[in-house]
Structure 1
Amino acid sequence: MKRQLAAVLIAVHALGAAAPVVEVSGIRDPELKSYRTMARGLDAFDAERAHAPQASLRFLLRPAAPGESLDGLTLTISGESVKLPVTLAADGGFELPRSTAALEDKAELVLNRKRHSFRWRPDVRSPGVPANTRRLGDLRLQCAVQWAIDREALTPQARAALGATGGPCHSPLAHTGFEAPQPLRAAWLRDGTRREALPVNRQRTRMFTPPLADRSWSDDALVEFDYAGQPAS
């Protein structure tokens, strides 16, 4: 895969005579793309908003190169005639504004650092969600935003494999990983009195895989984190 696709690892394998299972798990966050491409994430957020009606969407920047930090970092939507500064929060988060002028100007998202030094990820959050948990509807919507931005950059083979299953956010044959704030001992999904363990990646111990496509779990179900190094819950 190309460098900018290192955020996604796709392994397709046969499951008996059934349809293929597609594993989609984060390897590292991708690089910023053109404004037009990033704006597809805004479109997906609006289209899939029913999963999290009160949620907000931000994008988070993270250093990718050794020695890089958020100190002094600036972000600009920049084209031939358009120059729109984007406010960065202390944690590297930003909201991407809508701009018809930036679309028409084929603007880029430009950092004041060398290329390949920072990565991004979407972050969808509903208000009132308890600390150390993630709401399943937020994760479903976050997946939709990520997929809308990244899908056209995949190889035709990878895009076809994902498309054949209905996409990584809507098919039970696509298993999409997310990253917890800290290394995990376990992760649980709770919906009322129902509680089940979630798969946790044993090599990359922050990664957990929620059942995005399983509609028996409501959007209000919560992923609960059991962090390694803390007393067992």
Structure 2
Amino acid sequence: MTKATKSRPSRVVVLGSIALLLAMMTGCQQSNSAAPATSEQPSTTASTSTQTTDNTSNNNTNSTSTSSTADTTTFTEEQVEQAIQFASNYKKDQYTVGEEYKKNTSLEEMIELEMKKNESYLTEKQLQYQTVSRTLTLPMQLAVKKQSTLSPQDLEIHKKEPQTKQGVLQLSYTMKIAFANGEPSIPVEGELQLQPTADTWEVSYDVFNHNDLFNIIKAKS
């Protein structure tokens, strides 16, 4: 399987999330709320929470995953290796931010940039979720906050057990977000679920310690 550009016949639905996000942010500002906008993580089946590391679960209590009942679907070692490479490309692209952070971009422009970067990796529901929950723009927000380009380091991705749930491959990952200006790196740990398509994979679930990153963005300089 290779990375392929996917058509988005109903991308207007995702773009509509921008207006919703702006309305949510306006409401948060008016109420002086420090909490990030929340939205339920989309599920590929009737959901029950998957087990996560303590740090991940503490930061994502509202996230739901796929059914805990494993089905008969299995993936070959070659497929798993391809999926891990796909996931690695996704995380590297997602958390690589260059000099574009210096541009005076509006929130709408920032969302558009991140959608273009990530839409070939994500299911439509996951793209919409990350847009509304603001996790889609986290890398850019971190770059602006720290006034630095950034990139992932020490990225490790492993398959979880059970390997599959309802035909979805389960992976766990750890990495560090490294800043070019010498700012301390930020540890990230999370879980991914990938579903196969005809010629590639799609990320249908991505839960990680996002609250730690939001807290850094919200902290006073």
TM class by smaller structure? under 0.3
Q: TM-score, normalised by structure 1?
A: 0.25
Looking at secondary structure, tell me which structure has more helix per residue: 2
Looking at secondary structure, tell me which structure has more strand per residue: 1
Greater length-normalized contact order (CA 8 Å, ≥ 6 residues apart): 2
